[in-house]
Structure 1
Amino acid sequence: MKAVLAAVLIGYGISMILGRKEKEQPVWKRGSFWLWKKMKKRGLLPRTWMTEKYFCQAAAVLAAGCLLALTVQIIQEGQLDNRTVTALERPEYGAGSTSWEMEYTWENGEGLRQQEKMMVQVEEQKYSPEEKERLLDEAVKMVEQEYLGENSSAGKVEYPLNLMEQAGDIPAEVSWSSSHPQYVDWRGALGEQIPPGGAQVQLQASLKLQGAARIFETTVTVYPEKLEEDESMERQVRQTLAMENEKEGEQLMLPAVVDGKTVTWRTPEEEPAKILLVLTTVSSLLFLWRGRQEEEKRQQVRKEQLLRDYPELLGKLTLLLGAGISMRRAMERIAGDYERLKEKKQTEIRYAYEEVRNTCREMEQGIPEQAAYERFGERCGLLPYRTFASLLVQNLQKGNQGMQKLLREEADRAQQQRRDRAKVLGEQASTRLLIPMILMLLVVFVILLVPAWLSFV
């Protein structure tokens, strides 16, 4: 394995040396680019999809993976060579046995070293006979103290017994047997057939610890289990139903009286109204959430379109003002051109031109020109349009002198901002493309490191 990895890296290094003249390529790419040209010249590559880009990327990933794998293997072999294994740690008391995959080497009759793998089973730590006796004595005492549970004495057992399967932290196995399982089972649960006058039951616990054993025996007198009123009623109803089920007939008669109490039976009410209410509420909330999302998306699209059309709108207005047309007439001309294109379905809805059209209609309806321009900036809601509206108002107050220059400067500034936004969007797109590349690199690392780690462990 090491030889194969080293051969790949040596070959990649030789190709980098031979491709050192490819100075227009990055350093890491020169060797693979030189190799790609040579293989393409000899017709050794598929012509349809194996481009220089994919070939160089694949070669770089292969070289990086081989370098990483070789490094891991060298580190692993160094750790194994520097570690002489003469003993294996046994598991803790009561933890059970474990297995280790080991390698052993020896010299055969011909003086050659051979290596084999073997699974070595390691048993848990063993107690001495004295420790076993001491731990079993402690376990018996613990069982004797805890087996009654909530009962006050063995002469009157009315609650389930606490028949533990392990005595606390002592790793001794405890198994129980009962002389009358119908009264008390091996878990300590009381049966339903206990006579009212009580019954004696012999219990035996067998404790085992690494081959040593101890027996604990006791006798308890059990009585019908004390239950809460609802639990007692449920048990009696079940017993009555069991008796009714033993009878013949086409129908099971439900008991009307149980333990002197009147019982009324009815089928559970279905609640489709509640289900429909919940579903309707959830659906309404989903529709509201969807409407909010769509509105936010529409506002974002509107904002981006307004910013995108701003330089174009300023350019048209500057051109018309330069031709000697007044500001109001220029606005009407821009709105009219947009209306004609829209009627011919040669353009989609453009929010900036829609607001220009609305401004012209307001002026036609008698709204003062200055107020119409101010409302235009407020409706657009963006800082560039507010600046534009203030320029229009300034034009009304001070005249056309210098207006064309101001609009041209604003148009240049808007174009620069548009280029900056395009640059930012391009950087964001390239950043998003890094995520799948990083994920692919992580997959390569996992493929290389996990087998090495598993073989070492």
Structure 2
Amino acid sequence: MGLKKEQERWILPGLCVVGSLLLYVGLTFFLKGESEIVGNRLERGGYGDGSSVYEVEVDGLLEEPVDLTVEVEPRIYTEQEAERVFEEIMEGMEEKIRGKNPSLMEVREDLKLPSHWEDSGVRLLWYSENPEWISAAGKIEKTVEEPQNVQLQVHMSAGKYQAEYLIFLRLMPAIQTDEEALRSGLIKEIANREESDRSEPWMELPEIYEGRKLTYRKKEENLYAVIPILGVVMAVLLLSQEGAEQKKKEKLREKELLMDYAELVSKLMVLIGAGLTVRSAWERMVRDYESALDGKRIKRRVAYEEMRQTSFELANGIAESVAFREFGRRCGVQQYLKLSSLLEQNRRSGMKNLRAILTAEMEDAFEARKNLARTIGEEAGTKLLAPLFMMLGIVMVMIMVPAMMSMG
């Protein structure tokens, strides 16, 4: 068993070695034919290509093969070949350079002037005889109002052979719509009048053009148009700020209700445990709150203000179940909704274990209050991070700047 496992262990490595040897032998014999130089010839690169470098082995010079590096320059034209290729290039030049123009006699858009002619090795250098109209790159410098004849010169080079040719073009005015033609014609008419009336104190604009009666008024930029826009922007900002303030107040109100909930349930449970009814305990808590408020020992609290409202409703004859339900709805917090539901249920069916339920609710409320206090503390700490980082940055600048200046 051990011998068999040892044999299996060497199978895969052995296959790798044998496979690599077979691949080497096969590639060597396969590529050997390609490495031979047929007829003692080395192929040159095409016209305009770079030189080719061959690593060759010479047999027969010495007893051992001799390694040589042979650099072969690309093919070059004879004088007759260069003249012929220059003529062929000129025959196809218009099609090559006209771009989107129908012909070189109707040029309205930029030309495409190549720097070399493909597959020929011929380099092209361009010059403009009329650079104020068209550049050496084929870019139209300005729009013409009348047909304008211009010339481009192209310098061709193929090795040591060179030639120069002139190419004749005609720049044409841009094709205009009827509206554009009227506008450009009026501009031209006004320019002519301005040129001829320079000795006069006034320049008269044409009253009639192409059979159309014209009137003029000075165009002024209305700076006041931005005022309504600013008003709308300010209104949106005020509304958004008002909404943000409202949300902030609601969040603070909710936090205050949650912070007071545990104390409120605790007092209510103690008074009910002392033998008071729910309504009597409620009214007692309201009186204590009003007394502390009158004595300026505390500030107004949302939860107790809602209890005052409920006590007022009870005094005006509203049923306890309805008054307690409305109390929870006005507070709008889940814990108060649960408390109002317990009190309403106690009023309707009489819950014998109300005190035990309130005790459990009080314990949960104190735990929630601790979590809320922790969250508030974390938020306050987060708000302090920005000033702390700013102070740290200032201190680092105060330390590093003098140090860097002294090093400089």
Contact 2:128/2:134 (CA < 8 Å) preserved in 1? no
Alpha-carbon separation, structure 1, partners of 2:299 and 2:158: 86
5+ long unaligned stretches in structure 1: 1-126, 441-457
- 2:361 maps to what in 1? 410
Alignment pair present for 1:326 and 2:277 = yes
C-alpha separation in 1, matches of 2:158 and 2:263: 90
Q: How does 1:205-216 map to 2 (within 5 A)?
A: 205-206=154-155, 215-216=164-165
Query: Cα offset for 1:427?
Result: 6.3
Determine if the alignment matches structure 1 residue 380 to structure 2 residue 294. no
Return closer, same or farther for 1:285/1:425 CA change in 2, 3 Å cut-off. Answer: same
Partner of 1:357: 308
> Does 1:192 pair with 2:192?
no
Q: CA deviation at 1:396?
A: 2.3
TM superposition shift of 1:249: 3.2
Maintained 8 Å contact 1:205/1:216: yes
Return the offset for 1:378.
1.4
Residue pair 2:109, 2:140 contacting (<8 A) in 1 also: yes
Compute the displacement of 1:337 (Å). Answer: 2.9
The answer on 1:234 being equivalent to 2:183 is yes
Within 1, Cα distance between the matches of 2:205 and 2:260?
80
The one of 366, 370, 388 equivalent to 1:419 is: 370
Could you give the per-residue CA deviations for residues 393-452 of structure 1, whole angstroms, max 9, x where no partner exists? 233235574433322221111111222334455667778999999xx9xxxxxxxxxxxx
Cα deviation, residue 273, structure 1: 7.1
Counterpart position of 2:340: 389
Kindly indicate whether the alpha-carbon contact (under 8 Å) linking 1:158 and 1:225 is maintained by their aligned counterparts in 2. Answer: no
1:268 corresponds to 2:219: yes
C-alpha RMSD of matched pairs (Å): 4.3
| Alpha-carbon contact 1:182-1:191 (below 8 Å) kept | no
Partner of 2:249: 298
Partner of 1:153: 103
What is the TM-score with the length of structure 1 in the denominator? 0.54
- State the partner residue of 2:193: 244
CA contact (8 A) 1:164 1:174 kept: no
Q: For 1:322 and 1:231, how far apart are their aligned partners in 2?
A: 95
Q: 1:203 touches 1:219 (CA, 8 Å); kept in 2?
A: yes
Contact 1:236 1:259 in 2 (8 A): no
Between 1:415-424 and 1:395-404, the stretch displaced more is 395-404
Question: SS at 2:284's partner residue?
Answer: helix
- Report percent identity of matched pairs: 28
The aligned length equals 305
Larger radius of gyration: 2
> Which residue is equivalent to 2:230?
279
The residue that corresponds to 1:9 in the other structure is none
- Post-superposition, which runs of at least 4 consecutive aligned residues in structure 1 deviate over 6 A? 136-142, 167-173, 207-214, 427-437
Distance 1:215 1:345 in 2: 105
Whole-angstrom CA distance in 2 between matches of 1:434 and 1:212: 77
Structure 1 residues 23-38: aligned runs within 5 Å: none
Counterpart in the other structure of 2:317: 366
The amino acid that maps onto 1:348 is K
Query: Aligned to 2:168, what secondary structure does the other structure show?
Result: strand
CA displacement at 1:215 relative to structure 2: 4.3
Give 1:282 shift. 2.6
Q: TM-score by structure 2 length?
A: 0.60
Verify the 8 A CA contact 2:132 2:141 in the aligned structure 1: no
CA-CA distance at 1:392 after TM superposition? 1.5
> Measured at CA, do residues 406 and 153 of structure 1 come closer, stay the same or move farther in structure 2, by a change above 3 Å?
closer
Residue of structure 1 equivalent to 2:151 = 202
CA drift of 1:224 comes to 4.2
SS in 1 for 2:187: helix
